[in-house]
Structure 1
């Protein structure tokens, strides 16, 4: 089992560190780096998954890859990316309450700017619920959201990449 996980650990850790790095980098340019960091996650997650599965196939498994092996490597990789990203962003927001306040304020202003559109689409009750949830938001919520949005697309990318790279011995 360890032969499956060595590559996944490497690329999952690398993807998580890159995700944290992008959050830090984007926080210098934007008052709310969360949305741009999610877009970066949609780029780095499939790349890390592809490289992890491809490296396993080529260098550990003699050029062969079953769907189950690809999914195992992919699962560990995207889970690590999500967990490392979650923990890193939570730590950053915990030690930088000004950044958290800036993110919360930006989200609040976007909500208020689009008040009429949101109310017309989902109703006043949903808008007011969103307002109350935004007031009660903590840094854990932001970090958890980022981690989840690394894991969910990772599941789909793992399936696709495992199918594409699959090669069974004859």
Structure 2
């Protein structure tokens, strides 16, 4: 085992890039969690909290792709939202599996950093918007079940500036 390695200091540019990568990963994880909640809430009734909690624990281990497939197979989402989630799945897979290693020869160039920065920011924004779309879909679904969602709507208005 090597006892001491002197690594180069991380540059400001690298710190910014890693921050963007982390922000994108977090946004996608939060979206994945929202999708898991949607699936469970739509598969259970309001009085089945224990069943829903148990299912959610299992559901949260599924990959984003598997969660999208479940939602699609069980018709739990509007088609437009399914399509957008599937599109983001491709971007998410690129982010996780290829974003850094896809172009090893140009990894340290300004053009690589700029392109990666733009693409990760785009993924973050898409994931955040899709999370809100899932929340809105769940509000509509809950209201159809007779659940008062006025407090949730007020919070969304405060957080996102949405008017209902």
Which of the five TM-score ranges fits, normalised by the shorter chain?
0.3 to 0.5
Using the size of structure 1 for normalisation, the TM-score is 0.34
Which of the pair has the greater relative contact order for Cα pairs under 8 Å at 6+ separation? 1
Using the size of structure 2 for normalisation, the TM-score is 0.35
| Structure with a larger share of its residues in helix | 1
